[in-house]
Structure 1
């Protein structure tokens, strides 16, 4: 096996992992900026080296064999560690005192982290911080691939957190909002009334939409009228501000709108839609002192903000 492994390149393993991640040869080729025949050749080469089938087709889906699962777990770890090592060596060559790459789901990356990482960097001016916002599934995939050191994200049941540490640190809350252009509702806001409201929501099939629908179903609510769909919370809020209707939005993203009166909260007595925020990381990932200090700072500040405590 030693001679076999010595003939494998990190690039081939990266191609293999990308095919599995995207479930597509063509999308893997596009992401890696190579041709599809090259992707196919790399996968064929890996299969020949291991002398066992790694992938099978199930309709339009690519499915790992049992041996393929083992190779994928090993390859993903090796590729992610290599990427991390390359970043660390590059930082040393450039004289950077510290560098961290933080992943986040959209709301956290758009509304919580910009202020917090800016504040942290004022006391660590020689460090470099990259914040990358993703949908929740991609935020955990970034940990598997080694693109990010850790991620702060919400989750849905489709998440692949195998071999990862996923620690809940606080709860965000989805609350019902609308514009001042929409007159107040008459009578009590029952589940039946909520189900019939005109809604603006995330796009169908997105993790954010799945989480919202699952929480509402606990209260027997299946919305009958979703009139607009958007891929980002900011677009969703803008549509509601323009008078399009109602939306469930994370409280953490509404500080400015509540200050200006652009949106108002519609109270939903007896209904609380809590969504856990997780810190996701690889259990064997060795953090630099800079990365550790940033992570500890962000955990404290995100928790404080979501729990309504004064933040630094």
Structure 2
């Protein structure tokens, strides 16, 4: 509120003249007088003694002069830092992402982030949910994007996007000819799933267990693409995120009566790590884009 008045006051003290201060600041002399008057009323003291020939600074004026210079410097520094925050972002950002997010959701986010902050060096670690949680816990990643649950109580977890999963089969599967197919019809099937520690595997096991379904056998694969190829080759059925199926025309989604498979994508972070500017900017963009 008193920034302009303090700036005027410092100029008058240094010029020892109201007219010269007005010329230096490119304001009128009455404005200079008004600024000094407002400061003297605010601090309830006489700051300057003015004579026709010169301006004398009072003891309280000297005190304010020293503080005013500090205030003006800090104001200028804060303004510069805020400007740099928005315009000159650099440094490094390490993001851990589970496979589904890292392969199908994160690329669009990173493209937007890179356009906004081209000088930030980005490193992406893609692994299953359990390993991403470990990377964040050990400070090897600034933030983790996961699709499953984590058991580390020292990590903060926040959902940011809803994900829907589908049961998939090969195009000529006999299951596709059945009408009113229900989950109970999927008893004793071969399921192709991800490795232990994967959020997708965890969710599939939850669906099977909660519906009393037994698997004939599990075939484990360490990537979504490998699972899709296995399904295409008739090795069994699987469950994957719809994000992993958007551009996949060779695989059939099995319509199951009254069954909706939904979960939350979440981001995890360590509360003991000092706030990272690049991480904060990424999270702001993440929340903005996933609201659309």
**Aligned with 1:235: secondary structure?**
helix
**8 A Cα contact 1:181 1:243, kept in partner:** no
Over the aligned positions, Cα root-mean-square deviation in angstroms equals 2.3
1:39-118 matched pairs, under 5 angstroms: 97-118=90-111
The one-character-per-residue Cα deviations of 1:69-109 (angstroms, maximum 9, x if unpaired) are xxxxxxxxxxxxxxxxxxxxxxxxxx982321011111111
**8 A Cα contact 1:98 1:291, kept in partner:** no
Name the residue aligned to 1:242: 233
Name the residue aligned to 1:254: 245
1:112-127 matched pairs, under 5 angstroms: 112-127=105-120
**Unaligned regions of 5+ residues in structure 2, if any?**
1-87
Aligned residues: 204
**Aligned with 2:112: secondary structure?**
helix
Shift of 1:222: 2.3
The structure-2 alpha-carbon separation of the partners of 1:169 and 1:194, relative to structure 1 and needing over 3 Å to count, comes to same
TM-score (norm 2): 0.63
CA distance in 2, matches of 1:167, 1:241: 35
Select 2:177's aligned residue among 182, 185, 202.
185
Shift of 1:152: 0.9
The one-character-per-residue Cα deviations of 1:214-246 (angstroms, maximum 9, x if unpaired) are 1232222222344x3211111101111233332
Select 1:289's aligned residue among 266, 269, 277.
277
Shift of 1:168: 1.8
The structure-2 alpha-carbon separation of the partners of 1:278 and 1:297, relative to structure 1 and needing over 3 Å to count, comes to same
**Aligned with 2:97: secondary structure?**
strand
**8 A Cα contact 2:89 2:278, kept in partner:** no
1:152-191 matched pairs, under 5 angstroms: 152-156=145-149, 159-183=150-174, 184-191=176-183
Structure 1 residue 223 corresponds to structure 2 residue 211: no
Which structure's CA Rg is the greater one? Answer: 2
**8 A Cα contact 1:172 1:251, kept in partner:** yes
Select 2:135's aligned residue among 128, 142, 163.
142
**8 A Cα contact 1:191 1:220, kept in partner:** no
The one-character-per-residue Cα deviations of 1:29-61 (angstroms, maximum 9, x if unpaired) are xxxxxxxxxxxxxxxxxxxxxxxxxxxxxxxxx
Select 1:131's aligned residue among 115, 124, 139.
124
